[in-house]
Amino acid sequence: MIRIQKEKHIELIVDVLTKIGLTSEQAQMASEIMNYADVRGIDSHGLILLNTYIDRINKKIIRKNPNYKWDKKSEIISVLDGDHGMGHFMGHLAMREAIKIAKEKSLGLVLVKNATHYGASGYYTELAAKHKMIGFTTTNTMPLMAPTGGAERILGNNPISFSIPRQNEDPVILDIASSVVAAGKLILVNQKNEIIPEGWALDKEGNPTTDPNEGYEGGGTLLPIANHKGYGLALIMDILAGVLTGSGYGKNVGHSDIGFVMMAMDVDQIMPKEIFNKRLDSLISMVKSTKKGNENNTIYLPGEIEYLKKKEREQDGILINENLYKEIEKLTLDLEISIDNYFS
Amino acid sequence: MIRIQKEKHIELIVDVLTKIGLTSEQAQMASEIMNYADVRGIDSHGLILLNTYIDRINKKIIRKNPNYKWDKKSEIISVLDGDHGMGHFMGHLAMREAIKIAKEKSLGLVLVKNATHYGASGYYTELAAKHKMIGFTTTNTMPLMAPTGGAERILGNNPISFSIPRQNEDPVILDIASSVVAAGKLILVNQKNEIIPEGWALDKEGNPTTDPNEGYEGGGTLLPIANHKGYGLALIMDILAGVLTGSGYGKNVGHSDIGFVMMAMDVDQIMPKEIFNKRLDSLISMVKSTKKGNENNTIYLPGEIEYLKKKEREQDGILINENLYKEIEKLTLDLEISIDNYFS
């Protein structure tokens, strides 16, 4: 494993994305949000995706210089047409606008269409929490799951994220996919020639499988959480993020017509923040002091494990595996950027 | 099994609740929503709860004549203090207000505090769908689940319901609890002296159990869907419905200080309804025509099984089991109501 410091990780991504021609504002935001993920141990949404994004930029699936447009639907709802620009930038812009609306109107809702992959959902809801707001986001994704009873990829494992602001404490951040596990997990198990537990995926005929290849790369479908419940959640999220925004939906979602939903609610306009904070602290203290099933168990709040990782990585740097380092080495070499500027 | 016709089922509940002193407006609404549940095969939320509600009314946990009050927080957010009145009435009032706000402002949010059990969540979101709106509701409930790693009832199996209006078709209605199964299911299995699968519940020490009694009536905890994901959803729903509304929360939620959230969004103010309907129909046709895992499988939309049951029961009547019939017989006798008025 090789270490890269948090600030250098950001610089590296900005320099690479700017060099290939992405606007500086898009490069900055993609970098910040990929950094958010890697610092918190959400490695599936960080540096590991850089080559994928570059490939999509080169193929014009992601536009280097999008001409994004706003369409105000009401005092509290706006739609952002991302013109196929970088999802991270559009997502940030959208949540910032939702927060701005909420500041004035108590609640703001922004729908985004024609965008691309936005990375870690938690980034956007955390942004709302930083403004003392409750945040919500979802996005649709490439189809990976079948409706219950089916054997064909129709719905993404569309995530749901909520954040709750706290006083003097990290916010509560829920960020969950609607599949039991991420596709990346099956790829990883497959690389190790191991098997997966039943309940993670079906093969392409719709049968339960313990073969990670049949479950994903071989054309299978990921299983939704709690069967019909996860299927239902994924469908509703697709209706909100895909159908209602004006973006792609269902099995037709492509890498360049992804939709998002961003919502912010200003706590202080609903309940004085001193009272809200006191009540929230009291609930959280009930949760944290729950009698444990086993004395070695720890009761974590949603997002807490990621904050613990953040503390560690902000101090010690982000760990990159050998393969990823080699990829980055090749990438920087091709772009005539000196990798020594970042890893030292 | 004994049959009761839909209209008679409504009359029976209205007559009983009015006789024990509930205001007519509360009795009407409780009856309508319990009927909604029984007609759709959601038997856990229908007539079976009548005695429970009466007991709570007699014990003044539910107020016969509540002095409910509105508190407008912004142009789009209102809080309803239910003054411990019948949850169904307060829930209906709240969703109606959310719809009214949304009609004018594109989106309406109503928080309810100091209410009681509101029955089937789907009723409220369906109401939004009838007004061509997307509806959302949640409520907190008695504590039944532990946070992941715990062995104590801290959180309710707080439900999530969304509805999506359709043109000339039943709306899509998702209505799911955040536990793998309902507590009632464990009671039922226990009565039959059968065992439950692992994954439904933990015993009171936090160990996996297949004994339905240890899992519920003996003091265990229901398991949340998808472990930490369901725990996280239940916690967020409690923060919204309990902490933010000003109601009970966590392990302190009681039968008379339950909170709800009701949200309605006017589709037509976001996307012209012709376009929305066409896009939604296209997504639903992808879902319904998914290649099946087994030719005997049926792909259902969320809420579809309940609509099929509704068709059947509106024609043939609602089936009541012998035990429930005897309970109702005793109840009507005590209240000097002739049961023959309803079952004939």
pLDDT digits (tens, 9 = 90+) for B25-54: 999 999 999 999 999 999 999 999 999 999
pTM: 0.98
Shortest distance, CA A300 to any CA of chain B (angstroms):
8
B290, A243: Cβ pair inside 8 Å? no
Residue A242: Cβ-neighbour burial (10 angstroms; 0-12, 13-18, 19+): buried
Chain segment A16-43, per-residue pLDDT in tens: 999 999 999 999 999 999 999 999 999 9
Chain segment A206-260, per-residue pLDDT in tens: 999 999 999 999 999 999 999 999 999 999 999 999 999 999 999 999 999 999 9
Give the domain CATH number at B215: 3.30.60.50
Domain boundary residue among A271, A303, A335? A271
What is the pLDDT at residue A237?
98
Claim to verify: residue B165 and residue B270 sit in the same structural domain = yes
Claim to verify: residue B60 and residue B78 sit in the same structural domain = no
A280 touching B (Cβ < 8 Å): yes
Claim to verify: residue A129 and residue A166 sit in the same structural domain = yes
A344 confidence band (pLDDT: 50, 70, 90): confident
A235, B172: Cβ pair inside 8 Å? yes
Q: Quote the tokens at residue B48.
A: 């079976």
Shortest distance, CA B324 to any CA of chain A (angstroms):
29
Claim to verify: residue A77 and residue A120 sit in the same structural domain = yes
Q: Is the dihedral of CA B34, B36, B38, B44 positive or negative?
A: negative
B273 touching A (Cβ < 8 Å): no
B106 touching A (Cβ < 8 Å): yes
A263 touching B (Cβ < 8 Å): no
Q: Which residue of A has its CA nearest to B305?
A: A228
B188 confidence band (pLDDT: 50, 70, 90): confident
A302, B235: Cβ pair inside 8 Å? yes
Q: Looking at beta carbons, which residues of chain B come within 8 Å of A243?
A: 276, 279-280, 283
**B190 in the Ramachandran plot: left (φ > 0), alpha (ψ -120 to 50) or beta?**
alpha
A208 touching B (Cβ < 8 Å): no
B251, A286: Cβ pair inside 8 Å? yes
B344 confidence band (pLDDT: 50, 70, 90): confident
Average pLDDT rounded to a whole number, residues A52-57: 97
Claim to verify: residue B21 and residue B136 sit in the same structural domain = no
Q: If we measure between CA atoms, which residue out of A5, A2, A1 comes closest to residue A35?
A: A5
> In chain A, helix, strand, coil percent, each to 5?
45, 20, 35
Q: Is A318 helix (H, G, I), strand (E, B) or coil?
A: strand
What's the ipTM?
A: 0.98
Long-range contacts of A16-20 (CB under 8 A, 24+ apart): A16/A50, A16/A54, A16/A331, A16/A332, A16/A335, A16/A337, A17/A53, A17/A54, A17/A57, A19/A335, A19/A337, A20/A54, A20/A57, A20/A58, A20/A64, A20/A335
Shortest distance, CA B193 to any CA of chain A (angstroms):
25
Instruction: Tell which of B283, B295, B300 to mutate to test the A interface (max A CBs under 10 Å).
Output: B283
B287, A233: Cβ pair inside 8 Å? no
What is the pLDDT at residue A188?
86
User: Does position B184 have pLDDT exceeding 90, yes or no?
Assistant: no
Residue B286 lies in a domain: no
Q: How far apart are CA B64 and CA A256, in angstroms?
A: 56
Domain span at B312? 1-65+304-344
Claim to verify: residue B132 and residue B163 sit in the same structural domain = yes
B289 touching A (Cβ < 8 Å): no
A233, B174: Cβ pair inside 8 Å? yes
φ, ψ at A102 (rounded to 5°): -65, -35
Average pLDDT rounded to a whole number, residues B11-17: 98
Selecting from B149, B152, B226 the residue whose C-beta is nearest the C-beta of A226 gives B226
What is the pLDDT at residue A184?
87
Residue A294 lies in a domain: no
Q: What is the DSSP string of B116-154?
A: -----HHHHHHHHHHTTEEEEEEE--S--BPPTTB-S--
Claim to verify: residue B19 and residue B151 sit in the same structural domain = no
Q: Which residue of B has its CA nearest to A253?
A: B283
B269, A176: Cβ pair inside 8 Å? no
A204 touching B (Cβ < 8 Å): no
User: Does position A272 have pLDDT exceeding 90, yes or no?
Assistant: yes
Shortest distance, CA B199 to any CA of chain A (angstroms):
11
A226 touching B (Cβ < 8 Å): yes
Residue B298 lies in a domain: no
Claim to verify: residue B247 and residue B316 sit in the same structural domain = no
B74, A269: Cβ pair inside 8 Å? yes
Residue B147 lies in a domain: yes
B209 confidence band (pLDDT: 50, 70, 90): very high
Distances from the Cα of B260 to the Cα of A172, B78, B299, angstroms: 20, 12, 31
A242, B105: Cβ pair inside 8 Å? no
Chain segment B77-86, per-residue pLDDT in tens: 999 999 999 9
B155 touching A (Cβ < 8 Å): yes
Count CB neighbours of B198 within 10 A: 11
Residue A231 lies in a domain: yes
Counted domains in chain B: 3
Residue B297 lies in a domain: no
User: Does position A173 have pLDDT exceeding 80, yes or no?
Assistant: yes
Give the domain CATH number at B127: 3.30.1370.60
Q: Which residue of A has its CA nearest to B155?
A: A287
Q: Give A42's DSSP letter.
A: -
Selecting from B75, B147, B276 the residue whose C-beta is nearest the C-beta of A299 gives B147
Q: How far apart are CA A13 and CA A20, in angstroms?
A: 11
Q: What is the DSSP string of B9-32?
A: HHHHHHHHHHHTT--HHHHHHHHH
B292 touching A (Cβ < 8 Å): yes
Q: What is the Rg, in whole angstroms, of the alpha carbon atoms belonging to chain B?
A: 20
Number of CB pairs < 8 Å for A and B? 232
A180, B280: Cβ pair inside 8 Å? no
Q: How far apart are CA A209 and CA A219, in angstroms?
A: 12
Selecting from B162, B205, B228 the residue whose C-beta is nearest the C-beta of A236 gives B162
Residue B125 lies in a domain: yes
Residue A13 lies in a domain: no
Claim to verify: residue B251 and residue B201 sit in the same structural domain = no
Count CB neighbours of B295 within 10 A: 5
Q: How far apart are CA A115 and CA A53, in angstroms?
A: 13
Q: C-alpha angle B251/B254/B259, rounded to 5°?
A: 95
Claim to verify: residue B35 and residue B154 sit in the same structural domain = no
Selecting from A107, A151, A270 the residue whose C-beta is nearest the C-beta of B291 gives A151
Claim to verify: residue B20 and residue B94 sit in the same structural domain = no
Claim to verify: residue A196 and residue A88 sit in the same structural domain = no
B271 touching A (Cβ < 8 Å): yes
Shortest distance, CA B63 to any CA of chain A (angstroms):
25
Q: How far apart are CA B166 and CA B134, in angstroms?
A: 10
A300, B150: Cβ pair inside 8 Å? no
Tell me what the pLDDT averaged over chain B comes to: 97
Shortest distance, CA B60 to any CA of chain A (angstroms):
26
Shortest distance, CA A344 to any CA of chain B (angstroms):
38
Q: Which residue of A has its CA nearest to B110?
A: A270
Give the domain CATH number at B344: 1.10.1530.10
A74, B229: Cβ pair inside 8 Å? no
Q: Looking at beta carbons, which residues of chain B come within 8 Å of A107?
A: 74, 76-77, 107, 109
